[in-house]
Structure 1
Amino acid sequence: MSEHASPLATVGGADAGGQNVHVAALSLALAARGHEVTVYTRRECPFQPEETAFAPGVTVVHVPAGPATVISKDDLLPWMPDFSRWLARRWKADPPDIAHSHFWMSGLATLSAARDTSVPVVHTFHALGTVKRRHQGKADTSPSGRIKAETVVAHRVDAVIATCADEVTELGRMRMPRHRVRVVPCGVDLSAFAPSGPRMDLGPGPILLAIGRPVPRKGVETTIRALGQVPGATLVIAGGDPADPEVTRLARVADRYGVADRLRFLGKVGRKAVPSLMRSADVVVSVPWYEPFGIVPLEAMACGVPVVASAVGGHLDTVVPGVTGLLVPPRQASLLGRALRRLLADPFLLSAYGIAAADRARSRYDWNRVAAQTATVYADVIASCRDGREGVCARMETGAA
């Protein structure tokens, strides 16, 4: 269940990003291991078929919940009861072995649908409201009840699959029992993201690359400010539309800090072009204020490119400082500039970090490995639920219940 993030969506839109990639890649990898996967997402167009074959073993179902039009994910909560009721009707006739909900609203809908069908539920949050509220404050547009709802989901699902150790700590603050949390990271498509392959001509180097949706929390402003401390470097920014207000604001920041002549805005880059773009950079910079996991550093590592990332969220797991790249505090332009100067001044270090980064990505974050770990969680939950039900039935038969 992925109510707002369809695996069929084009990545890079307002609500299309890492979760779309995660759901799509995990579904494909599970199907490749022999599992039958159905992805339920909300219908956003009246012409969408109810079911679409995504790949062998993977079907995408468009659930009629609310108007058949694109709606911001922050406005979807009122339509989750419709989503849930539709699932419940379908599952009464043909229940799945297990349900895996993605994002808190899918969690609410899935738990409600599973209540009458005894379907076990595991959940992946992808992002937690407590973290978003902490860093965005009044700029957080999430529904007011999100944090309370996430607590309900955390305590009622059969297991939570966290994507990094930092998320486990956050769940602990929500009093989520540790034994019901399993850590399984996001993965990377190693057939696309690899050190060898085509590259782009991005102009005179060294090249720093920042890629992602143009929103303030991604920390691109910090990178622009740091550019003034990295003489001769060019910063390439990929993502967003030239007319986007955030892109316009970042251009003004570059003017203010005197680095506009060393800044290039590429705009939106197609998903298939991202590997060649990353391979063309000397360093990929990813310094968001917070990051639930952070797929950009992982993809860069798989391409054999060193990463300088903020020491937050999943970056703490994926980037090994002094081995595959460097970690810096978020929103600290001077420290970021110092780290970039140090790295670019040592070609041997750049090469060593890139080799180690690619090796780490291959050994730990292949989607086949991630799917195997996820399937193990599924099997454990199914077995636990089956044993629990059998125990209840036995007690009832003996009059002990």
Structure 2
Amino acid sequence: MRIAMVSEHADPLAAVGGVDAGGQNVHVAGLAAALAGLGHEVTVYTRRAAAGDPATIAMAPGVTVEHVPAGPPVPLAKDDLLPHMPAFADHLRRRWRASRPDVAHAHFWMSGVAALEAAEDLGVPVAQTFHALGTVKRRWQGSADTSPPERLAIERDVGRRAAAVIATCSDEVRELTAMDVPVDRITVVPCGVDLGLFHPDEAGTRGEPDVRILSIGRLVPRKGVDTVIEALCHVPGARLVIAGGEPGDEDTPRLRALAAARGLAGRVRLAGAVAREDVPALMRSAQVVVTVPWYEPFGMVPVEAMACGVPVVASAVGGHLDTVSGCGMLVPPRRPRLLAAVLRDLLARPELRAALGASGVRRARSRYGWPRVAAQTESVYRSLIGDRLGRLAAAGG
């Protein structure tokens, strides 16, 4: 199968941790490689963000990344990319006319805009994964939402026009149906985790002698790191390590100032960005991983921590309701005192931490390994190709 994967702002080759480089980049890279491992030929189309980006580059056996000339070859915030989607679509159309893919899979709403436009006259079925929905973002961020004002209407149109919508969690299905996306076109396929990288310590030991809580990911306000710092005021003796951010960002000094204002400067360490290959060891060094965003379309951090055998406390939102429920602790977002109570209880009960860690490993291995996720995605693709062939046969084509 020839698969065209469209990821307009999330280059699978980009370093994770920047403003617009996170879980989607990891997902696209992992899914592309896993599909190639099933014998498929995958091309990932992403916007050229630097003049030096090669036109094409081999990412893994069977996977090619193609940098699309759409807009100036400089980094642009994803919220500024919509005007460049016609150029992106024109490039896809030219490439697909020359070598038609069997299926296209668009990641994020603007990728859907480009993929649907390019595929319209070529008969290429398009599967859509949103990764985040504008309706949810606007609900939580209000006037702070920097998305283009037309996003909600376009997103709804993309959802209704796509041949299939691949949601990453059951909560997203509810949001999509509220947008009038036909429920019979929606399939839940979660994000995956690299179980070769994220696994428990083979030596059977984990953690440092002191009480260590880890928060890892982007530091923007919606990720809830402020809530973790506020909670630490009520968790005596614990230390908090915050990993993430990038040089010159405005969130690192904001969080450092908050810790100082709460008298926690000696118990909070902002570690900065961590190389992806170093993340598992960092997770295993903690007694608990905390991730309490206001909203979360899926949430890779808890799944990665679970795969490492580390107990997780997460906000009861979005994908966490699928991944963490039953094998971790869920709390409402933006409730620091309640979070503190859960942390105090968990840190005082090593047997509970061990039980949650073991159940997390079992769930990560049974549900979220990339081979399983790729096979589920492949099944959606095959259904679309079968539908297309059936329509062609019925039309005498």
TM-score range, shorter chain: over 0.9
Query: Does residue 89 in structure 1 map to residue 89 in structure 2?
Result: no
Which residue of 54, 64, 81 maps to 1:76?
A: 81
Question: How much has 1:201 moved relative to structure 2?
Answer: 10
Please give the alpha-carbon distance, in whole angstroms, between the structure 2 residues aligned to 1:122 and 1:110: 9
Q: Which residue of 2 aligns with 1:160?
A: 165
Please give the alpha-carbon distance, in whole angstroms, between the structure 2 residues aligned to 1:318 and 1:282: 19
Query: Does residue 329 in structure 1 map to residue 329 in structure 2?
Result: no
Q: Which residue of 1 aligns with 2:120?
A: 115
Q: Is the 8 A contact 1:199 1:277 kept in 2?
A: no
The residue identity in structure 1 corresponding to 2:254 is R
Residues 112 and 74 of structure 1: CA distance in aligned 2, closer, same or farther (over 3 Å):
same
Q: Which residue of 2 aligns with 1:29?
A: 34
The residue identity in structure 2 corresponding to 1:209 is L
Q: Which residue of 2 aligns with 1:253?
A: 258
Please give the alpha-carbon distance, in whole angstroms, between the structure 2 residues aligned to 1:201 and 1:73: 38
Which residue of 135, 139, 143 maps to 2:144?
A: 139
Please give the alpha-carbon distance, in whole angstroms, between the structure 2 residues aligned to 1:387 and 1:353: 47
Normalised by the length of structure 1, the TM-score is: 0.95
The residue identity in structure 1 corresponding to 2:193 is V
Which deviations, in whole Å up to 9, do the C-alpha atoms of 1:218-238 show, x marking residues without a partner?
000000011111111100000
Question: How much has 1:349 moved relative to structure 2?
Answer: 0.5
Which residue of 280, 303, 307 maps to 1:302?
A: 307
Task: Report 1:1-400 matches (<5 A).
Answer: 1-196=6-201, 205-241=210-246, 243-321=248-326, 324-393=327-396
Normalised by the length of structure 2, the TM-score is: 0.96
Q: Is the 8 A contact 1:200 1:280 kept in 2?
A: no
**Paired residue secondary structure (1:260):** coil
Mean CA deviation greater in 101-110 or 257-266: 257-266
Please give the alpha-carbon distance, in whole angstroms, between the structure 2 residues aligned to 1:202 and 1:381: 47
Please give the alpha-carbon distance, in whole angstroms, between the structure 2 residues aligned to 1:255 and 1:87: 51
Question: How much has 1:197 moved relative to structure 2?
Answer: 5.2
Please give the alpha-carbon distance, in whole angstroms, between the structure 1 residues aligned to 2:315 and 2:294: 7
Mean CA deviation greater in 4-13 or 190-199: 190-199
Q: Is the 8 A contact 2:44 2:64 kept in 1?
A: yes
Which ranges of structure 1 fall in alignment gaps of 5 or more residues? 395-401
Q: Is the 8 A contact 1:129 1:146 kept in 2?
A: yes
Please give the alpha-carbon distance, in whole angstroms, between the structure 1 residues aligned to 2:150 and 2:324: 34
Please give the alpha-carbon distance, in whole angstroms, between the structure 1 residues aligned to 2:246 and 2:86: 35
Q: Is the 8 A contact 2:234 2:340 kept in 1?
A: yes
Please give the alpha-carbon distance, in whole angstroms, between the structure 1 residues aligned to 2:334 and 2:65: 39
Please give the alpha-carbon distance, in whole angstroms, between the structure 1 residues aligned to 2:204 and 2:147: 39
The residue identity in structure 2 corresponding to 1:386 is L
Q: Is the 8 A contact 1:198 1:276 kept in 2?
A: no
Which ranges of structure 2 fall in alignment gaps of 5 or more residues? 1-5
Q: Is the 8 A contact 1:40 1:61 kept in 2?
A: yes
Question: How much has 1:114 moved relative to structure 2?
Answer: 0.2
Q: Which residue of 2 aligns with 1:399?
A: none
Q: Is the 8 A contact 2:206 2:286 kept in 1?
A: no
Residues 230 and 153 of structure 1: CA distance in aligned 2, closer, same or farther (over 3 Å):
same
Please give the alpha-carbon distance, in whole angstroms, between the structure 1 residues aligned to 2:380 and 2:279: 31
Which deviations, in whole Å up to 9, do the C-alpha atoms of 1:25-62 show, x marking residues without a partner?
00000000101000000111222221101111000001
Aligned residues: 392
Please give the alpha-carbon distance, in whole angstroms, between the structure 1 residues aligned to 2:131 and 2:279: 22
Q: Is the 8 A contact 2:206 2:284 kept in 1?
A: no
